Amino acid sequence: MNYLVGLLSVVFFILAIAVISKSLKLNKNLSGENESDSALDSHNNTNAVGFLLFWLFGTIAGVWSFIHAQPDFLPEAASEHGVRTDSMFWISMAIVTLAFFITNSLLFFFAFRYRNDNNRKATFYPVNHKLEIVWTIIPAIVMAILVFTGWRTWRDITSQAPSNAVVIEVTGHQFGWYVRYAGNDDSQLGNVNYKLIDETNNLGLDFSDKNTFDDFTANELHLPKGVPVLLKIRAQDVLHSVYLPFQRVKMDAVPGMPTKFWFTPTISTDEMRAKLGKKDFNFKLNCTEICGRGHFGMAITVFVDEPADFKKWTSEQKPFLTMNPAYLTKVPENLKAKASKYIPAEPIATDSTGTEAVSIK
Amino acid sequence: MSTAISTTEEVHAHGHDHDHDHEHEHHELGFIRKYIFSEDHKTIAKQYLISGILWAFIGGSLSIIFRLQLGFPDMSLEWLRPILGEWIDESGKLDKEFYLALVTMHGTIMVFFVLTAGLSGTFSNFLIPLQIGARDMASGFINMLSYWFFALSSVIMFSSLFIETGPASGGWVIYPPLSALPQAMPGSGLGMTLWLTSMALFIVSQLMGGINYICTIINLRTRGMTFTKMPLTIWSFFFTAVLGLLSFPVLLSAALLLIFDRSFGTSFYLSEIYIQGQALPNMGGSPILYQHLFWFLGHPEVYIVLLPALGMTSEVIATNARKPIFGYRAMIGSMMGITVLAFIVWAHHMFVTGMNPFLGSVFMFLTLIIAVPSAVKGFNYITTLWKGNIVFTPAMLFSIGLVSLFISGGVTGIILGNSALDINLHDTYFVVAHFHLVMGAASFFGLMAGVYHWFPKMFGRMMNKTAGYIHFWLTFVGVYAVFFPMHYTGIAGFPRRYYSFTALGNDGEAAFTDLNAFISVAAIITFSAQAIFFFNFFYSIFKGKRATQNPWKSNTLEWTTPIVPGHGNWEGEIPAVYRWPYDYSKPGAESDFIPQTVPHSATPESNLPEENDEIAKEKDIEGLLAAQNESYNR
């Protein structure tokens, strides 16, 4: 393929030079001092026809390429709000494509139709207030409708998360995502403090907060289907952005400023696999804010489970404190009793909670 | 340039008696003062233009290198090692950080150095004095400084391409903390320092230029050149200068605070950061603050780039359609509307940055309002072509191309400006396609239209037209072939600034392998096609056919100067202006154009009823001559 490109560019370059030298020569031969100085030349009609051909082939290429690319667009949205924004997207797209097509067609058609003709004179037509008012008002009305529907959707998407929402924390770092759940006993995420971060406690969990004790972390994001999920989003070093393409979720992760996004997944991983006929299909969480060398590979796998499966999965997860009992020393005296119930009788092997990004070579 | 004479000399030659109490400079300027440290607006314009062309070549080449990576991810780039050296890794691939550096520098160079300096710098300088009838800019000295600050800034930015840690790599928006912390990526070290230094100088240059443009337009119009008789080019340069003057200082403050954060331990943008095994002491800063400051310039910048292109296109389209521009006042009004609205739409770049969603709603409303004046402009261009008698000069072709690109790129702005839809499209190729069409390609076409149209005035020679046609068609087809398919990858959710798309998972990248290769090939062809322009431009400067007085039969004042205007532009008196610049194909008139210098009293056969009232004012306009000469003689 690279040879092809190289060859193409070389061929093209030679062609270009040939064309120039030829036309320059031609020009030299023609450029007698007495030559008419008109800006018009014999190519005027060619250029006019060019616009018509451009319109024709452009339309064909546009339609063909759209039909060709369409199967590879993101499939049906896998979240409640995503279905809404998708349908709004395609409606807006239809409106703007119509405007795009009509205006471009007029432009190219007029260019062709009103090409120079020495027997004709252009029409002196400097202004028409009625026309101007009409085409100011029509876009204004269309915009107003689009803005209003867009605003209502935006307002609903960004409203307060329902009280039954499952709270999950996602933290971006160079180059991966940490996922933390509020635990099986309380549904409260404990505090974190970036100054407490160390090699094992890579979220900076604050063990002076009793809500932290049952929090557990994961290498992948599990979401319950049909239940509102509130993502609490953090970043540790630079900006990142949580992007769940299929759930149509995107929100920046900002160091020092927690952000959030709530949504309701509607299609489970299994259903999506069946729908797409791909047995190994998985949802992904990607990064969409430039964050350095490994930006493009900063992804983890997302599983949308049936609510029962989700419950089962969470109940199998062990709190961070259970996995790393050494952190009991960080718990203040008055909470030690509470915390020690998470400490297993037999110490188990420590485990790093770090999530690995897709390997970056 | 034998016609170079100082203004004082000229006024003197025309026999106005005044006291000779000041020194007259009769000597010829030396080479350095004439071509290098020149205060002549025409020379400065050419300096900007040639710098802009060189920068465009560099900026374009960078994009070709990263397009090779995107289009042919498996290709060995070993053959680039002689140029890129260590930036090609052991496996023959582009280094991942250098990929980001390429993207960053491509954006920076194209937006600031090519489309701001190369476009607005060239044509504001060249056309303002010539089209309003002034001998030069209000301050030739500041104008010269403006170029040389730009040149200095260029040298610094250029040198950053060659340092070991690489140039700035955090995207052209250089969002902190990535850009503030050298430990986050190597490009945030010396490369970012040079970027910030260069941009600070660039902003100084822009401000000096902008002040000059505004002063000149307000104060130095020739007699009779009222605001409503100014060509739309001048209006567009005026609004551009106002935009730049009010928004560039904000970028400077954003950059200064970033410099403080980087070098002096402040925490304007930094808070609670743990990086490379180390918790930084910074607390309480906000990366969002930077984004607000950046986009307060960043969005007006889009119009700083685009308005001059639209202004020049208005002029070229009217001239070559042999028709007045449709809705002259509506055009001014919509440009004014765009200028005002440009300042209050910036946060539509930030819908999903964690900014308060209510603020998002406000900015969505304001953003979609700006679509209305833009639509009006599009309709007016199309109506100007309607029933015209179109001469397809290369400039006209590029202008029509601009209108098409402006529409095609503009309509998707309606989708991106809708915050609910922006959630999924933000930072995908849909955005890349949108702004490359509406701002990048459209402005580039405006630049090309301007060069082809005013080349005869700049160099006294014509560019080869046939080569111009070929250049246009290859570029026009090429630009659509590159950017139209990008919408598709955007709808498929491909994020921008990705070195490769494998991590999207599920073989998602495979579906668009061919398309990405196609885009890259189209980009290479389009870029190569610019060689035609390059040769044509430099060849024609020296060997082109000699230009005639008014090759496009245009109405505006610049075509009343000598074919190669000397210092001071007009050899005799500056001509007076009696009419608007768009009297093309006026019913009753003999010729199909009536230059602005022709009084209505000379054209009774074609005057509209209300224009007969203008005849009475001609005496007043003539009466201003003495005052005008006096002002130059002061």
- pLDDT tens readout for residues A126-175: 989 999 999 899 989 998 999 899 999 999 999 999 999 999 999 999 99
**What is the DSSP code (8-state) at residue B488?**
H
Look-up of token digits 């042999």: B322
Best mutation target among A28, A237, A263 (most B Cβ atoms within 10 Å) is: A237
Residues of B in contact with A5 (CB under 8 A): 68, 71-72, 520-521, 524
Is A296 part of a structural domain of the chain? Answer: yes
Residues of A in contact with B271 (CB under 8 A): 255-257
Euclidean distance between CA atoms B309 and A104, whole angstroms = 19
Q: In this structure, is the dihedral angle defined by the CA atoms of residues B62, B68, B73 and B79, taken in order, positive or negative?
A: negative
How far away is chain B from the Cα of A324, in angstroms, using its nearest Cα?
A: 20
In this structure, the answer to whether residues A140 and A180 fall within a common structural domain is no
Please name the residues in contact with B301: beta carbons below 8 A apart, sequence gap of 6 or more: B111, B116, B247
A178: CATH: 2.60.40.420
Please name the residues in contact with A27: beta carbons below 8 A apart, sequence gap of 6 or more: B464, B465, B466, B545
In degrees, rounded to 5, the angle at the alpha carbon of residue A313 between the alpha carbons of residues A308 and A318 is 145
Q: How far is CA B257 from CA B196, B201, B270, in A?
A: 11, 16, 11
Is A181 part of a structural domain of the chain? Answer: yes
pLDDT of A33 above 80: no
Strands (E), B257-407: 274-275, 278-279
In this structure, the answer to whether residues A243 and A260 fall within a common structural domain is yes
Instruction: Check: CB of residue A75 under 8 Å from CB of residue A276.
Output: yes
**What is the DSSP code (8-state) at residue A215?**
-
B436 burial type by CB count under 10 A (0-12 exposed, 13-18 middle, 19+ buried): buried
Amino acid letter, B71: G
Is A98 part of a structural domain of the chain? Answer: yes
* Cα dihedral B233→B235→B240→B241 (10° resolution): 110
Q: Is A273 helix (H, G, I), strand (E, B) or coil?
A: helix
Euclidean distance between CA atoms A148 and B631, whole angstroms = 55
Mean of pLDDT values over A289-312: 94
In this structure, the answer to whether residues A131 and A105 fall within a common structural domain is yes
Quick one: pLDDT at residue A337?
A: 87
Please name the residues in contact with A173: beta carbons below 8 A apart, sequence gap of 6 or more: A202, A235, A236, A237, A240, B274
Which chain B residue lies closest to A196 (C-alpha atoms)? B279
In this structure, the answer to whether residues A151 and A247 fall within a common structural domain is no
B427 burial type by CB count under 10 A (0-12 exposed, 13-18 middle, 19+ buried): buried
The tokens describing B634, both together, are: 């002061």
Please name the residues in contact with B390: beta carbons below 8 A apart, sequence gap of 6 or more: A48, A111, A114, A115, A116, B320, B321, B322, B396
Select from A115, A135, A197 the Cβ nearest to the Cβ of B279. A197
Quick one: pLDDT at residue A21?
A: 59
In this structure, the answer to whether residues A296 and A209 fall within a common structural domain is yes
Select from B184, B469, B497 the Cβ nearest to the Cβ of A174. B184
Q: How far is CA B353 from CA A34, A238, A258, A260, B291, in A?
A: 65, 13, 11, 10, 9
**Helix B41-71 vs helix B140-159: angle between axes, to the nearest 10 degrees?**
20
CB contact under 8 A, A147 and B364: yes
Per-residue 3-state assignment (H helix, E strand, C coil) for B568-597: CCCCCCCCCCCCCCCCECCCCCCCCECCCC
Best mutation target among B491, B494, B554, B593 (most A Cβ atoms within 10 Å) is: B491
Residues of B in contact with A250 (CB under 8 A): 352, 423-424, 426-427
Kind and range of the H or E run holding A243: strand A240-244
Euclidean distance between CA atoms B21 and B36, whole angstroms = 30
- Lowest-pLDDT range of A1-15, A282-296, B205-219: A1-15
How far away is chain A from the Cα of B213, in angstroms, using its nearest Cα?
A: 28
The tokens describing B191, both together, are: 């490369």
Domains parsed from chain B with CATH numbers: 31-543 (1.20.210.10)
Quick one: pLDDT at residue B214?
A: 96
Look-up of token digits 């616009």: A51
Enclosing domain of residue A87: 78-116+126-159
CB contact under 8 A, B418 and A194: no
Kind and range of the H or E run holding A231: strand A229-235
The tokens describing B352, both together, are: 């999903």
Select from A107, A116, A136 the Cβ nearest to the Cβ of B376. A136
Is A333 part of a structural domain of the chain? Answer: yes
Is A353 part of a structural domain of the chain? Answer: no
- Chain A, chain B: beta-carbon pairs less than 8 Å apart: 400
CA-based radius of gyration for chain A: 31
Q: How far is CA A128 from CA A134, B329, B337, in A?
A: 10, 11, 20
B537 burial type by CB count under 10 A (0-12 exposed, 13-18 middle, 19+ buried): buried
Euclidean distance between CA atoms B412 and B403, whole angstroms = 15
In this structure, the answer to whether residues A224 and A334 fall within a common structural domain is yes
The tokens describing B579, both together, are: 């009419």
Euclidean distance between CA atoms B72 and B83, whole angstroms = 19
pLDDT of A10 above 80: no
The tokens describing A291, both together, are: 């964050």
Strand order through the sheet with A300-305: A221-224, A300-305, A283-287, A240-244, A249-253
B538 Cβ under 8 Å from any chain A Cβ = no
Closest CA to B521 of B80, B84, B64, B60: B64
Of A135, A159, A183, the one marking the end of a domain is A159
Best mutation target among B381, B407, B425 (most A Cβ atoms within 10 Å) is: B407
Mean pLDDT in consecutive groups of 10 residues from the start of chain B, 634 residues = 40 42 55 84 95 96 94 90 88 92 96 95 95 93 95 96 92 94 92 95 96 95 94 96 95 95 94 92 93 94 95 96 94 95 94 91 91 92 94 96 95 94 95 95 96 96 94 96 95 93 84 92 95 95 93 94 92 92 91 92 90 88 86 78
Q: Where are the alpha helices (DSSP H) in B232-286?
A: 232-263
Condensed to tens digits (0 to 9), the pLDDT of residues B194-252 reads: 999 999 999 999 999 999 999 999 999 999 999 999 999 999 999 999 999 999 999 99
Closest CA to B317 of B374, B236, B400, B377: B400
Quick one: pLDDT at residue A119?
A: 87
Quick one: pLDDT at residue A11?
A: 58
Please name the residues in contact with B521: beta carbons below 8 A apart, sequence gap of 6 or more: A5, A8, B71
pLDDT of A15 above 70: no
Select from B178, B379, B476 the Cβ nearest to the Cβ of A291. B178
pLDDT of A32 above 50: no
Quick one: pLDDT at residue A246?
A: 94
Per-residue 3-state assignment (H helix, E strand, C coil) for A52-68: HHHHHHHHHHHHHHHHH
CB contact under 8 A, A245 and B504: yes
Which chain A residue lies closest to B365 (C-alpha atoms)? A147
In this structure, the answer to whether residues A155 and A175 fall within a common structural domain is no
In this structure, the answer to whether residues A89 and A104 fall within a common structural domain is yes
In this structure, the answer to whether residues A216 and A329 fall within a common structural domain is yes
Instruction: Check: CB of residue B172 under 8 Å from CB of residue B195.
Output: no
Ramachandran class of B337: left when φ > 0, alpha when ψ lies in -120 to 50, beta otherwise:
alpha
Is A225 part of a structural domain of the chain? Answer: yes
CB contact under 8 A, A248 and B287: no
Quick one: pLDDT at residue B13?
A: 41
Quick one: pLDDT at residue A14?
A: 61
What is the maximum span of chain B, computed from C-alpha positions, in angstroms?
A: 85
CB contact under 8 A, A74 and B493: yes
Backbone angles phi, psi at B88, to 5 degrees: -95, 120
Q: Is B549 helix (H, G, I), strand (E, B) or coil?
A: coil
Condensed to tens digits (0 to 9), the pLDDT of residues A318-359 reads: 999 999 988 998 899 999 888 888 888 765 555 544 444 444
**Helix A80-113 vs helix B394-416: angle between axes, to the nearest 10 degrees?**
160
How far away is chain B from the Cα of A275, in angstroms, using its nearest Cα?
A: 14
Quick one: pLDDT at residue B611?
A: 87
Which chain B residue lies closest to A281 (C-alpha atoms)? B506
Closest CA to B34 of B142, B134, B144: B144
Look-up of token digits 């400023």: A257
Closest CA to B448 of B481, B401, B502, B516: B401
Look-up of token digits 């900063």: A298
**What is the DSSP code (8-state) at residue B393?**
-
**C-alpha B591: how far from its chain's center?**
34
pTM for the structure as a whole: 0.90
Residues of A in contact with B357 (CB under 8 A): 154-155, 158
CB contact under 8 A, B275 and A237: yes
Quick one: pLDDT at residue A27?
A: 52
In this structure, the answer to whether residues A130 and A187 fall within a common structural domain is no
Is A50 part of a structural domain of the chain? Answer: no
Euclidean distance between CA atoms A201 and A321, whole angstroms = 10
Is A346 part of a structural domain of the chain? Answer: no
In this structure, the answer to whether residues A230 and A334 fall within a common structural domain is yes
Quick one: pLDDT at residue B54?
A: 96
In this structure, the answer to whether residues A175 and A322 fall within a common structural domain is yes
| Domain total of chain A | 2
Instruction: Check: CB of residue B201 under 8 Å from CB of residue B152.
Output: yes
Best mutation target among A105, A110, A156, A234 (most B Cβ atoms within 10 Å) is: A110
Best mutation target among B69, B104, B178, B262 (most A Cβ atoms within 10 Å) is: B178
A2 burial type by CB count under 10 A (0-12 exposed, 13-18 middle, 19+ buried): middle
pLDDT of A99 above 90: yes
pLDDT of A182 above 50: yes
